[in-house]
Amino acid sequence: MGVGKSTIGAECGRRLERPFVDIDTIIEEQEGTTVSELFSSRGESTFRDREREVIARVLASTDSQVVAPGGGAVLDPGTRELLRSQAIVVWLQAPVEVLVHRIGEGANRPLLDDSPADTLHRLEQERDHAYREVAHVVVSSEHGSVAETTDAVLAAYAATVRQLGEAGCKA
């Protein structure tokens, strides 16, 4: 939350001339409600199942695209496997203090409660292992403009493509 997945992802898509796909937006459009409402009405487990289905469908496309799954998508082992095997995963990182500043009170953030800083620290501890498992590369979004962070993401992406080889890499 607040690390820049949607903003940086959209800019990467624009620069690469590829579609940008926000998984939460797809789910909201298909379900006719917000992610927050889905969490409230159906629970996180049901949401994660739906999220995995949508990610699998998006990654099955033969088109190269920039995809932004929600921050908790990596909690599901099946989703981690899909992401790691079918995409180049860039983990955008920023310190919790920066994230708290960016998201403010956390309106429309289903996992944030009365203490965003405490919640983000807890989520960081719970998710760190999963992010490390799935990420091909890590890029800081703490400093710099959207353009500078996008430059860093695209440079890391290009280096990873070269390292992994174009064969079998549809990103």
* pLDDT range class, residue 167, cuts 50, 70, 90: very low
Rounded Cα gap, residues 128 and 116, in angstroms: 17
**Interval 29-42 mean pLDDT:** 89
Question: What pLDDT sits at residue 111?
Answer: 55
For 55-83, how does the pLDDT look when each residue is reduced to its tens digit (9 = 90+)?
Answer: 999 999 888 999 999 888 998 999 999 99
* pLDDT range class, residue 89, cuts 50, 70, 90: very high
Higher-pLDDT residue of 115, 30? 30
Question: What pLDDT sits at residue 114?
Answer: 63
Query: Where does residue 143 rank: exposed (0-12), middle (13-18), buried (19+ CB within 10 A)?
Result: exposed
Question: What pLDDT sits at residue 78?
Answer: 92
Question: What pLDDT sits at residue 168?
Answer: 46
- At the top level of CATH, which class does the domain 5-164 belong to? alpha beta
Rounded Cα gap, residues 117 and 104, in angstroms: 10
Q: Look up tokens 């799935």; give the residue.
A: 134
Angle between helices 44-59 and 35-42 (to 10 degrees): 130
* Percent of the residues in the chain that have a pLDDT greater than 90, as a whole number: 51
C-alpha distances in Å from residue 128, one per residue of 73, 95, 112, 121, 149: 12, 12, 18, 10, 21
Half-sphere exposure of 152 (CA within 13 A, CB side): 19
Q: What is the mean pLDDT of the chain?
A: 86
Higher-pLDDT residue of 135, 44? 135
Give the count of beta carbons closer than 10 Å to the beta carbon of residue 134. Answer: 21
Question: What pLDDT sits at residue 28?
Answer: 93
Question: What pLDDT sits at residue 125?
Answer: 85
Question: What pLDDT sits at residue 52?
Answer: 94
By the 8 A CB rule, do 36 and 42 touch?
Answer: no
